[in-house]
């Protein structure tokens, strides 16, 4: 168990002193073809599990962490905007690494690499599934076998999302700070929807539109949710260029993110969940932007056979009949080459 602090600042998770993560609502891609980056449609709200001891299951209290509401088959991506200093971030989907396809270990590894490097990695939209591509994160219930966890391990017992951040050791961190001071670049403006906050040459903000009393019901069994995959998009997962020895052996902080259906979110928190995202065909017909990002200085991390073999959720839930309207060339935007601290989030045994 990591001893470092995790806090919710607005709708952002702050892991230790550096890494910041937001869960971004977005349009779900078709499960065939390869597409550009879909837009950000606002942030998922986050709440601490420990603030609702009477309405969450006992096992959630044991794991600690945070929760967010998500609709069946809703897509999301992770934004690392606001990350102030380098961090090696592990992203687990049902305790399966979204980068390597290996089971969650809680330790950094290089062969295969089981983490993304912040702030170099501006966002992560899905599992590392092919050359220069990822398959989109899509929410599905446990028990069907459609999650990444179910397909990789043959079991669906963890669900949710797991995050763990490792800082640089003191000497490499001091070198990085000196290099940053030498650049004499003013800090970028904070963004709610994309980009990354600590590196010069950061991509433009990725987003388009903002997101549009405690429940008295007793704690009860909650439908368990996890992440499967949807459509493929052009996105690189960058290879780490530092020696593995530059990173701390122990994590700065970790957190378990529970995924909650909208009805359960209302029962647990007393708050309404955000509505389903706008229809993607209507979004595209309205001329709203899609995105493309390329970093010529970065090296794409090859996908493992394990993640390359993960099938989309449509194989379990049926075809996606929502019409696909491809964006025009002019709609695809090329992305070029701190608030008051919240309360700490309690970690648990997972």
Could you tell me if 94 and 109 are in contact, meaning their C-beta atoms sit under 8 angstroms apart?
no
pLDDT of residue 339: 47
Helix (H, G, I), strand (E, B) or coil at 209: coil
Structure tokens at 28: 């779900």
Q: Closest Cα to residue 66, out of 50, 49, 45, 51?
A: 49
Structure tokens at 297: 């200085």
pLDDT of residue 163: 98
pLDDT of residue 180: 85
Alpha helices per DSSP H over 40-164: 58-63, 148-153
Digitized pLDDT (tens) for each residue of the chain, 350 residues in all: 555 699 999 999 999 988 999 999 998 888 888 988 888 889 999 999 999 999 999 999 999 999 999 999 999 999 998 898 999 999 999 999 999 999 998 899 999 999 999 999 999 999 999 889 999 999 999 999 999 999 999 999 999 999 999 999 999 999 999 988 887 555 554 444 343 333 334 444 566 544 333 334 445 566 789 999 999 999 999 999 999 999 999 999 999 999 999 999 999 999 999 987 666 665 566 565 655 655 556 677 788 888 888 888 777 777 765 666 666 666 665 665 544 567 888 888 88
Beta strands of the chain (E only): which ranges?
6-9, 12-15, 19-26, 34-35, 47-48, 66-69, 75-79, 87-93, 116-118, 123-124, 126-130, 133-141, 161-167, 225-234, 253-260, 290-293, 332-335
pLDDT of residue 205: 55
pLDDT of residue 311: 84
pLDDT of residue 189: 47
pTM of the model: 0.78
């Amino acid at each position: 168990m990591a001893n470092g602090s995790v806090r919710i600042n607005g709708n952002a998770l702050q892991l230790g002193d550096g890494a910041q993560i937001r869960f971004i609502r977005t349009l779900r891609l078709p499960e065939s073809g390869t597409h550009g980056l879909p837009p950000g449609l606002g942030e998922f709200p986050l709440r601490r599990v420990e603030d609702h001891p009477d309405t969450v299951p006992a096992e959630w209290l044991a794991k600690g962490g945070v929760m967010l509401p998500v609709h069946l088959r809703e897509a999301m991506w992770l934004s690392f905007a606001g990350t102030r200093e380098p961090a090696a971030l592990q992203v687990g989907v049902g305790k399966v690494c979204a980068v390597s396809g290996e089971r969650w270990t809680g330790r950094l590894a290089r062969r295969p690499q089981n983490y993304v490097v912040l702030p170099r990695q501006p966002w992560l939209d899905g599992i590392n599934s092919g050359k220069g591509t990822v398959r989109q994160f899509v929410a599905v219930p446990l028990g069907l076998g459609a999650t990444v966890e179910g397909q990789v391990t043959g079991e669906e017992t963890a669900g949710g999302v797991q995050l763990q951040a490792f800082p640089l050791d003191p000497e490499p961190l001091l070198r990085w700070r000196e290099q940053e001071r030498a650049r004499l670049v003013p800090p970028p403006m904070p963004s709610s929807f994309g980009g990354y906050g600590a590196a010069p040459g950061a991509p433009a903000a990725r987003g388009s539109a903002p997101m549009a009393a405690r429940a008295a019901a007793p704690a009860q069994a909650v439908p368990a949710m996890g992440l499967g995959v949807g459509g493929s998009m052009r996105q690189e997962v960058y290879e780490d260029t530092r020696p593995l020895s530059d990173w701390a052996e122990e994590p700065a902080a970790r957190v378990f993110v529970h995924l909650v259906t909208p009805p359960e979110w209302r029962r647990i928190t007393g708050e309404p969940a955000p509505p389903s995202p706008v229809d993607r065909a209507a979004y595209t017909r309205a001329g709203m932007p899609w995105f493309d990002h390329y970093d010529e200085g970065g090296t794409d991390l090859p996908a493992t056979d394990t993640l390359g073999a993960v099938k989309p959720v449509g194989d379990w839930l049926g075809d996606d009949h929502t019409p696909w309207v491809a964006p025009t060339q002019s709609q695809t935007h090329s992305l070029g080459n701190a608030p008051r601290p919240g309360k700490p989030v309690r970690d648990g045994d997972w």
